[in-house]
Structure 1
C-alpha cells in the first residue's frame, strides 16, 4: 500500500531501497524556507542497519503489512530452535541468534508470534511475561536499604535478574521477557 512521506508513523514497516525497514522515530519538520518534510529514523529488519531519511509529503513509499503467525516452541537442536505452525503443524527451524538473548526464556509448548514477509521470518515476539524459579539468591545484608534494595538472583534458565530482598531461592517469580526484569511473585 502506497503512503505519502508525511503519513509515516513509528512502527510502520516500509519497503525502501529494495529492503525492509521499520520506522523507529518520526519527526515532522517545517523549515522557514522550502516545504515540510518528515525526518525518519529507519531500522533494517533484515540486517539491523540504521538509516536516517527525509521524506517530503510528495514522496510516496510502500508500506508493508507483515503476516503474523502463531508458532509453538518445541525444542532446541544444536544452534537451531524448532517451532511448529499451530495451523498446519509444519515445523520451522530458526537460528538461536535470530531470537537473541531472549531465547533463554523459551519453554516447551510456549506460543510465540513470528512475523513473516514473503515466506521469510523476519521477527519473533515472545509472551510478555514468563514464570521461572529462582535457583540462587544472595542473602540480604541488614542495613543495606540505603542503597538499592534489590539483590542479584539466578533463574532456572541461567539468566541473572535483580529481585527484592524478600525473594528466596526456590520461589517462582514472573519475569518480563522484553526488559529481562523481575515483575512480581508468581501465585
Structure 2
C-alpha cells in the first residue's frame, strides 16, 4: 500500500488554535472530523491515519512547535519508510490572498521558520508543500502579531469552504499525484 505523510504545521496549545499560523493543524483537524478520525499523541507529534482507494495517509501535527517541525517530519518519514516525494507539508503563506491554495514541489522557505527547519533536517528544498494563503493585511513591523492573530469574522465565515477544498487537495495529491493536483487546484 502506498503511504503518504501529510504534515500540517502549527503550534501546540489552546492559545494558538484559532491563529492564522496554525492553518496546517486546522486543515488536518477538519479532515479528521470529516473522516471520524482521532489523533493520538505519539513520538514528536499527534498522528491519525486513514485509507482511501488503496492509499494510506498518515496525518502528522508536530508537537515540537512550528520552528522545530523538521525533526518530527524527518522522524515519521523514516519510521514509516515513506519516500520524500510522498511528503506533503501544509503551511500558511503571507504572500497569497486569504484562502488561496498553492501546491509546489520545491522552493525556498520564504522566511517561514517551520519550512526552514524542515529544509535543514531533510537537507533539500525539493519536497511538496501546500501553502494556504492568509494574506498580508498587516502594517509594517506587525507580521508576528498578524500570523499569531486570530481569523477575522469574514475569514471565519469563509474557512469551511476553503477547508473542504483543502481536503480535496490532500486526497488528490495521494490519488492523482502532485502534477495533476497542482494543475487542478493552484490559485483556486
TM-score (norm 2): 0.22
TM-score (norm 1): 0.22
Greater helix content = 2
Larger relative contact order (C-alpha < 8 A, sep ≥ 6)? Answer: 2
Greater strand content = 1
Q: Work out which of the two has the higher radius of gyration on C-alpha atoms and give 1 or 2.
A: 1
